[in-house]
Amino acid sequence: MKAQISGPTLSPRRLLATRNARRIALQALVLSGLVLLAFLLLRNLLQNLHAAGMAVDFSFLLNESGFDVNESLIPYSSKDTYLAALTVGLLNTLHLTVVCVICASAIGLAIEWIRHSEIKLLRLYCRLYIDSMRNLPKLLILLAIYVLLVMDLPVARNALSFFDVAYLSNRGLNLPALTLHKPHIDDPALATSAALYSGAVLFFWFLLRHCLVSRFLRLALPVCLLVAGLAFITGMIRVDLPRFSGFNFRGGSAISLQFFSLAVALSLYHGAQIAEVVRAGFKAVPNGQDEAGRALGLGRLQIFWLVVLPQALRVMIPPLTNQYLNLLKNTSIGLAVGYSDLVSVMNTSINQTFRPVELMLVTMSVYLVVGILASACLNVFNRRMQLKGGQG
Amino acid sequence: MTQLECLPTRMPRQFGQWWAGLRQQYFPTRGATLINLLLGVLSLAGLGAALDWGIFSAAWLPGGPEICAAHSGACWAFLWEKWQVILLGAFPRNAMWRPLLGVGVVVIVLVTLARLRWPARTSIVMLAVAFAGLFALLDGRPLGLEQVEMVRWHGIAVVTFLGVFSLFAAFPVGILLALMRVDGPPLLSWLATGYVEVVRAVPLVTVLFFGVFVLPLLLPPSLKYPPLLVTLLALILFNAAYFAEDIRGGLQAVPRGQYQAAESLGLGYLARIRCIILPQAISVAIPALTNTIIGAFKDTSLVAMVGIFDLLATTRMAFSDPVWQRQAPEGLVIVGLLYLGACWAIARHSRTMERHVAGWLGNGR
């Protein structure tokens, strides 16, 4: 009896008779295949690098980079390390992403608002805008904007002036900036006006108590007003206007043409996609909510801000998260117009050191980590916005 | 009731309805009327300016750059001069019929398959033939023609080669990844999830750089890897992750009962997936897949960043010629129209396919 069973057990047919056995066999097969593949790839990599007289080594990141970048948020020169250069690139990428997220969200909301207007032609324009953005490559949009700006903008001397506050020329956009100074509080006139202003803000705070705004805003709005106003009155923060003198603009903050065209192109491109997300969000809020708000005697803005938007946001946040992450990834087209983002700095570094493996690993993991962090934060926000158990 | 009233449509009545509809849409209130009229005048002015630029004040006839200075509008002489550069880049001029014929064959195959609603086996065979044909025509050696190096394949040849075939090759990989993730054993599911999430978290540009710089180092050193082929591989690996995510959504939308019904019929795993589950999953996923396909086709233009001359790069090449530098808008407008047309066709076809599958999806519920 025993011999009869042990005989056929050895045949593979019998071994793989059950579903479970087949699953385990398949996993083992795939795992061994992958290990073999990884081994082969690594062996090839080491052989190839060895043939070129190199090895995987990250210590070059601390060497002097020797190249300059167009724009940087932190002090950087060509004498700094590759690591510093990559940090500059990352900060530029994040800077562009934040600006684009704000602008694209504003465009998306504005488009949704226009779509509800009773003016048919405006709605047609929105349709046209969204369809053309959905069907054109972002690189084409970026190139078109950049080329047109470079071709048609005047030189710095004849820059387009916006009320003598901001200037647009073929060198970029010059905006007023806020600068920090030492406050002077010894002037009695200043002290009086500061006290008067504080009183006014206090009165505003009392007024706000009777308005239907969230508890957070009720506290945050007056505090912000107070701090900002006092800083301006005491001269701690001053507005620094750009002025043309000599051959270039002095003062203010300069935004390069590359950054400007990238911000415009990506905001337009993603604004259209965010508009679709926003539309789906507002569609998910039943009409009864609007009517209930009106029945309670709320104003249009209050209905939008307090009734409809919070409910729409619940539906919108997951796809919006996706859009924002896409935006972060799409800033990598900055290389096409020579904006020093992370990919562009990586490209320059690869060309200089020919260490693609290390640099690609660093860059991809940076994108991975930033993406995971951003989505984790937005997920926390999402969880806070969703209905809690008891309230539903 | 309303239908009966509407049926005898005579001219005056129709006009009345038309006018009422128009009034309701464009002139509902006094303020809206005013703004609509104002915007209408403005858009007519804009349209007029565009037409004036593109048609009435444009230089239509071939000629040198000096002809452009004489016209205030667009200078289509630029296209007469540079259409070969824009379409084919530096492909040898005496062999221009080859890429044009190859792209034509691919387009005809795609249109035929779209008409036939993508029958699986026919599609695989015809696309493989089309791919081989395009490759043979571009390369030349298989047909006994003069060889053209891969680095000289530019313009629409590259867009077709990468944009079309990376998508078709990525599709089965995406299906495999989605199946692994949804109902594979734990290890496979975990692997597929990791792959899809990592690829979706990094930008396409870095994946392309990875393809051009790192992939050749990972492959056996004895062979040479032209950038175009490596880019094709990178694009396939990239698009597969996005397809996997769309198809996963479709797979999860197939009711559990379908799996159980297929199993109770005694079908094996492959038959179950192939005949019962996948047709429904892919049908449900059509809108999501369309978005991915359009996005991926548009993003093929990013290969320009790793030094491959696609349509956008060749256009840039055409207007970076110092004498034609002012003609950048004309070139970009033409390329934009080509992309608009292609994406519009894909979107339209997806709506046709949605109607096509609506029948059996309705019965399945």
Distance CA B235, CA B163 (A): 9
| Predicted confidence (pLDDT) per residue in A157-175, tens digit | 777 777 777 888 777 788 8
- Residue A51 pLDDT exceeds 80: yes
The answer to whether A137 contacts B203, with C-beta atoms less than 8 Å apart, is no
- Residue B150 pLDDT exceeds 90: no
| Predicted confidence (pLDDT) per residue in B315-347, tens digit | 988 888 888 888 888 889 999 999 999 999 999
Distance from CA of B99 to the nearest CA of A (A): 23
Q: What percent of chain A has pLDDT over 90?
A: 32
Asked if A371 contacts A332 with a C-beta cutoff of 8 angstroms, the reply is no
> For B22-43, what is the mean pLDDT?
84
Compute the CA torsion angle B158, B162, B168, B169 (nearest 10 deg): 130
Poorest-confidence range of A303-307, B258-262, B285-289? Answer: A303-307
Most confident of A67-71, A201-205, B39-43: B39-43
In 3D space, the residue among A284, A275, A276, A273 whose CA is nearest the CA of residue A309 turns out to be A284
Angle, alpha carbons B320-B325-B327 (nearest 5°): 115
**pLDDT band of B1, cuts 50, 70, 90:** very low
Neighbours of B276 (CB within 10 A): 19
> For B36-64, what is the mean pLDDT?
87
Q: How confident is the model at residue A1, as a pLDDT?
A: 45
The answer to whether A367 contacts B316, with C-beta atoms less than 8 Å apart, is no
- Residues of B with CB below 8 A from A20's CB? none
Q: Compute CA A255 distance to the chain's CA centroid, rounded to the nearest angstrom.
A: 17
CA atoms within 13 A on the CB side of B28: 8
> For A83-89, what is the mean pLDDT?
91
> For B82-102, what is the mean pLDDT?
89
In 3D space, the residue among B281, B300, B286 whose CA is nearest the CA of residue B356 turns out to be B286
Q: How many CB pairs under 8 A join A and B?
A: 149
Q: How confident is the model at residue B241, as a pLDDT?
A: 95
In 3D space, the residue among A93, A92, A88 whose CA is nearest the CA of residue A77 turns out to be A88
Q: Which residue in the block uniquely carries the two structure tokens 């004895």?
A: B222
Which position has the higher pLDDT, B287 or B55?
A: B287
Distance CA A257, CA A249 (A): 14
Most confident of A45-59, A184-198, B189-203: B189-203
- Residues of B with CB below 8 A from A43's CB? none
Distance CA B235, CA A36 (A): 24
The answer to whether A120 contacts B335, with C-beta atoms less than 8 Å apart, is no
Dihedral pair phi/psi, residue A174, rounded to 5°: -110, 120
Which position has the higher pLDDT, B123 or B56?
A: B123
Does the CB of A224 have a partner CB in chain B at under 8 Å?
Answer: no
- Residues of A with CB below 8 A from B40's CB? 121
Using alpha carbons, list the distances in angstroms from residue B319 to A145, A379, B93, B315. 15, 46, 19, 6
Distance from CA of A285 to the nearest CA of B (A): 23
Asked if A194 contacts A183 with a C-beta cutoff of 8 angstroms, the reply is no
| Predicted confidence (pLDDT) per residue in A352-380, tens digit | 888 888 999 999 999 999 988 988 888 88
The answer to whether B218 contacts A118, with C-beta atoms less than 8 Å apart, is no
The answer to whether B344 contacts A135, with C-beta atoms less than 8 Å apart, is yes
Q: How confident is the model at residue B364, as a pLDDT?
A: 46
- Residue B204 pLDDT exceeds 80: yes
| Predicted confidence (pLDDT) per residue in A95-105, tens digit | 999 999 999 99
| Predicted confidence (pLDDT) per residue in A323-354, tens digit | 999 999 999 999 989 899 999 999 999 988 88
- Residues of B with CB below 8 A from A379's CB? none
The answer to whether A137 contacts B339, with C-beta atoms less than 8 Å apart, is yes
- Give which of A44, A125, A364, A367 to mutate to test B binding, by max B Cβ within 10 Å: A364
Distance CA B346, CA B335 (A): 17
In the three-class reduction of DSSP (H, G, I as helix; E, B as strand; rest coil), residue B227 is classed as: helix
Distance CA A217, CA A352 (A): 51
Q: Is A235 left (phi over 0), alpha (psi -120 to 50) or beta?
A: left
Q: Which residue in the block uniquely carries the two structure tokens 């030094």?
A: B307
- Residue A10 pLDDT exceeds 80: no
> For A284-296, what is the mean pLDDT?
90
Question: Three-state SS string across chain A, please?
Answer: CHHHHHHHHCCHHHHCCCHHHHHHHHHHHHHHHHHHHHHHHHHHHHHHHHHCCCCCCHHHHHCECCCCCCCCCCCCCCCCEHHHHHHHHHHHHHHHHHHHHHHHHHHHHHHHHHHCCCCHHHHHHHHHHHHHHHHCCHHHHHHHHHHHHHHHCCCHHHCEEECCCEEEECCEEEECEEEECCCCCCCHHHHHHHHHHHHHHHHHHHHHCCCCCCHHHHHHHHHHHHHHHHHHHCCCEEEECCEEECCEEECCEEEEHHHHHHHHHHHHHHHHHHHHHHHHHHHCCCHHHHHHHHHCCCCHHHHHHHHHHHHHHHHHHHHHHHHHHHHHHHHHHHHHHCCCCHHHHHHHHHHHHCCHHHHHHHHHHHHHHHHHHHHHHHHHHHHHHCCCCCCC
- Residues of A with CB below 8 A from B335's CB? 140
Asked if A190 contacts A234 with a C-beta cutoff of 8 angstroms, the reply is yes
**pLDDT band of A2, cuts 50, 70, 90:** very low
- Residue B269 pLDDT exceeds 90: no
Q: How confident is the model at residue B10, as a pLDDT?
A: 52
- Residue B4 pLDDT exceeds 50: no
**pLDDT band of A391, cuts 50, 70, 90:** very low
Distance CA B17, CA B246 (A): 44
Distance from CA of A150 to the nearest CA of B (A): 11
**pLDDT band of B89, cuts 50, 70, 90:** confident
Task: Pull the structure tokens for residue A184.
Answer: 């002077």
**CATH 1.10.3720.10 at A82-150+262-385, yes or no:** yes
The minimal CB distance from B201 to the residues A31, A47, A368 is found for A368
Asked if B202 contacts B175 with a C-beta cutoff of 8 angstroms, the reply is no
Mean residue pLDDT of chain B comes to 88
| Predicted confidence (pLDDT) per residue in A102-138, tens digit | 999 999 989 988 887 778 888 889 999 999 999 999 9
Which position has the higher pLDDT, B240 or B70?
A: B240
- Residue B2 pLDDT exceeds 60: no
Using alpha carbons, list the distances in angstroms from residue A302 to A317, B33, B316. 21, 28, 50
Domains annotated for chain B, with CATH where assigned, are: 79-91+148-364 (1.10.3720.10)
Poorest-confidence range of B19-28, B111-120, B179-188, B207-216? Answer: B19-28
DSSP B8: S
- Residue A387 pLDDT exceeds 90: no
- Residue A9 pLDDT exceeds 60: no
Distance CA B68, CA B62 (A): 10
Neighbours of A297 (CB within 10 A): 7
Q: How confident is the model at residue B11, as a pLDDT?
A: 55
Amino acid at A218: R
Q: How confident is the model at residue A392, as a pLDDT?
A: 38
Residues 88-147 (A) with a CB less than 8 A from some CB of B: 118-122, 125, 132, 134-140, 143-144, 147
pTM of the full structure = 0.87
